[in-house]
Amino acid sequence: MANRNLPSEKTPKQGSAQDDTRVTTPNPTPAQLALEGKENHSSNSKLVIKFWGVRGSYPVPGPKTVKYGGNTSCVEVRNQHHRIIFDAGTGIIGLGDQILTEHRQDQAPTAQPLVFSILLSHTHHDHIQALPFFQPAYLSQASMYVFGPQLLGYDLRESISETMNARYCPVRLEEMNSHKVIVNIADTDRLLFQNSNKVPRVITARDEMADLHQEDLLVSIMHSYAHPKDGVFVFKVQNNGHAVVYATDTEGYRGGDARLIKFAQDADVLIHDAQYTTEEYTDVLHSKQGFGHSTIDMACEVAEKANVKQLVLFHHDPRHDDEVMQKVEAHARRLFKNVIAAYEGLEVHLGP
């Protein structure tokens, strides 16, 4: 089967990708300081990972979550040429504002096309709920690519569109003015973001990869079935010999999720669901087993067995305020040498 070349925008403008948007929260923990200190010099990094929403299930604003943040899932991975957004929880609202600010500053004749891709792990509320509030989606000169699974057999566009019908939302999907390309993908597909082409390509398992360059971004997919009702996509971004794995909303197995351990083997960064403490997970009266989320210990076990360089705990339980999160992070540091609990504004830079 031939490569599925996606339609391109006729009058492209370029999306600007800048390396200087570091945001820090007040009073970072020692682990955060170490990470920032290590990465801070890398303004010429090839790959930037930025956390805009780190919370699972529902947003929790307020004075008890200012340190780690209260927004639901959204992680940006970008290089000089492409911007990939994992999930559209409420964290995507701040990212949208950032994209608009950059776009307004970049109106020169040589301006880059405004193109971005949203990769959805699945379509539970906390991963799509802020799409109607993502301002760049309303720009007629923007191109928005959305990729995700066809869970329970439902077309991805239909799943998103349903949440934006007039009964639930003042704006219909069709009323967002950007050029929208919404694509069902399978775990046998890969996504190729070439430096020479603003338009991403879907590559099926049988396609030749002859024109792949190290500098291009390649995204591969693992379908985890450890999340109700039809699982979740885990994504791996590879670029210049580096790998970042985004594994949210997935429950661990005894001895570690073997498929995930293989998929994430030797990755530079593993972003892993770590919603519960072991005590919460195994509580006899209010057990969280089967809910489709991991414990901190499960995330650390996968990181250890996959030999990843950096583990980022993610999809924090909304009931875990800053005080609990600090304890969570301290506990995790006893289990895995290089771990940090994701917080809004955290950036990790990879590259030369």
In terms of CB distance, is 230 or 322 closer to Zn ion?
Answer: 230
Contact positions with Zn ion (CB under 5 A) in 154-173: none
CB of 14 to Zn ion, least distance (A): 32
The residue range among 97-105, 241-249, 278-286, 330-338 that interacts with Zn ion, by the rule CB under 5 A, is 241-249
Residue 15 touches Zn ion, criterion: CB under 5 A: no
Rounded to the nearest 5°, which phi and psi values hold at 183?
-125, 130
Q: What six digits make up the tokens of 190?
A: 């890969």
Contacts 24+ apart (CB under 8 A), 19-24: 19/43, 19/44, 19/45, 19/48, 19/349, 21/50, 21/98, 21/347, 22/345, 22/347, 23/344, 23/345, 23/347, 24/345
The residue range among 1-9, 125-133, 250-258, 320-328 that interacts with Zn ion, by the rule CB under 5 A, is 125-133
Residue 126 touches Zn ion, criterion: CB under 5 A: yes
CB of 112 to Zn ion, least distance (A): 32
Question: DSSP letter string over 107-138?
Answer: -STTPBPEEEEEE-S---HHHHTTGGG-GGGG
Residue least distant from Zn ion (Cβ): 124
The residue range among 124-132, 196-204, 326-334, 341-349 that interacts with Zn ion, by the rule CB under 5 A, is 124-132
In terms of CB distance, is 48 or 88 closer to Zn ion?
Answer: 88
CB of 42 to Zn ion, least distance (A): 30
Number of residues forming the site for Zn ion (CB under 5 A)? 4
| Contacting residue, 87, 102, 216, 249, with Zn ion by CB under 5 A | 249
The residue range among 18-26, 44-52, 141-149, 249-257 that interacts with Zn ion, by the rule CB under 5 A, is 249-257
Q: How far apart are CA 194 and CA 188, in angstroms?
A: 19
In terms of CB distance, is 67 or 124 closer to Zn ion?
Answer: 124
**What is the CB neighbour count within 10 angstroms for residue 174?**
9
In terms of CB distance, is 9 or 126 closer to Zn ion?
Answer: 126
| Contacting residue, 78, 83, 124, 236, with Zn ion by CB under 5 A | 124
The answer to whether 256 and 301 have CB atoms below 8 angstroms apart is yes
Contact positions with Zn ion (CB under 5 A) in 53-112: 56
Residues in contact with Zn ion, shown as a per-residue x/- string from 198 to 237 under the rule CB under 5 A? ----------------------------------------
**What is the CB neighbour count within 10 angstroms for residue 110?**
6
Question: DSSP letter string over 187-237?
Answer: TT-EEEE-TT-SS-EEE-TTS--TT--TTSEEEEEEEE-SSTTT-EEEEEE
Contact positions with Zn ion (CB under 5 A) in 24-63: 56
Residue 320 touches Zn ion, criterion: CB under 5 A: no
Q: Which residues of 283-307 are buried (b: 16+ CB within 10 A; e: fewer)?
A: eeeeebeebbbbbbbbbbbbbebbe
The answer to whether 228 and 292 have CB atoms below 8 angstroms apart is yes
Contact positions with Zn ion (CB under 5 A) in 251-310: none
CB of 62 to Zn ion, least distance (A): 20
Considering only CA atoms, which of 58, 128, 139, 140 is closest in space to residue 92?
128
User: Residue numbers of the site for Zn ion (CB under 5 A)?
Assistant: 56, 124, 126, 249
